[in-house]
Structure 1
Amino acid sequence: MTIQPSRDATASLLVLASVFHFLLAAVAVQFLRPGYDPWQAPLSLYLSGEWGAWLRCAYYGLALGVAVLAVQVHRSLLPAARHVLVPVLLVIGAAALAVTAMWPGPAPGYPVDELGVLVHRISAMSAFLLVGSGMLLQSATLRHDPRWRATGRILLPLAMLAFAGLWAHALWRELPRGASQKAVIALYLAWLGLCAWQLRAGTRR
């Protein structure tokens, strides 16, 4: 009877650690690489060069965290609140996130061949779209589980805002590319962190 709560607690701690580590690395490289304008430089530029290895590790850790969260939340929910597509979308999106870090895009002083550019762009786009879709779908089903209903009222608008921000970043080219992308990433991290926190809180009931 204690196995599932124990797994939930462990999973939530892993996810929270991955989210905070990613946030720390993403913020730190803005200061450690002053050659880039944070307002204009997307996060992918920091994957190559000095401190790039740290950021890539943060990407890999977050990918693992997303996959673990997808599986563990699905297991913890009542059947009525589950949707088979949610873990599929999140796990594939997590894999795409890892590929994004494995194939960094072009950066000043770090050229990439055409294949590398293509792989990076497709994987980055897939990570955002798949994880965002999984967030939306999961948030919409949480009302069917009383333990998650209150948190779901926050997660759903947060997921909607994140997904809307993603499309605004993609379609509104006049937006500063770095700032708009990082704002979207912050919304994704907030959703993941809150979801992991609720998973942990559920183990105490």
Structure 2
Amino acid sequence: MTDTELDARHAEKMRKKKAARDKILATKTIEKGLVIVHTGKGKGKSTAAFGMVMRAVGHGMNVAVVQFIKGKIETGEKVVLDRFADQVTVKRMGEGFTWETQDRQRDIAAAQSAWEAAKAMILSGDYRMVLLDELNIVLRYDYLDVAEVAAFLRDEKPDDVHVIITGRNAKDELIEIADLVTEMTMVKHPFRSGVKPQPGIEF
């Protein structure tokens, strides 16, 4: 078969594919605020969430970020988002990783305070997107009642607000009420080969 014939076959195949795709897209008519969960043992849960934050900012949306755990780490994303303070509010409300604080009651108090702040921002009408970074971690340790969190997101979240939740071990109750769930799978990680967390990659 000649290149001309191959090109013609390819063009016809892509034409049919586009027609099928357009037909499917025409049936998708709902526009709503989503509950999005990024979970799993692989790297990239918060990274992907901050990518969505950047997209939202690019579309002129106001965004809020509540960090439940990483409050003491100086992150690259915080430095960048501070440059968009007219659109983005970042609340770093964590006390650090649980193995660093070693104080369960303090961790519970910090989680509860962060959740109250998160609910207020979700309900405020000021933000189209709210990122709850590492919320899954505090739910995993039962610092918050997952049934309460799921009920709020299902029943009280405004219809036009997107909420993104990150962290390993997302609980079934959260997965059930979510619109979009992605599980990051770890295939290989440099940490296991002795490579320390590095700026621009891990934080």
Same fold (TM over 0.5): no
More strand by share: 2
Provide TM-score, normalisation by structure 1: 0.29
Which one has more relative contact order, counting CA pairs under 8 Å at least 6 apart? 2
More helix by share: 1
Structure number with bigger Rg? 2
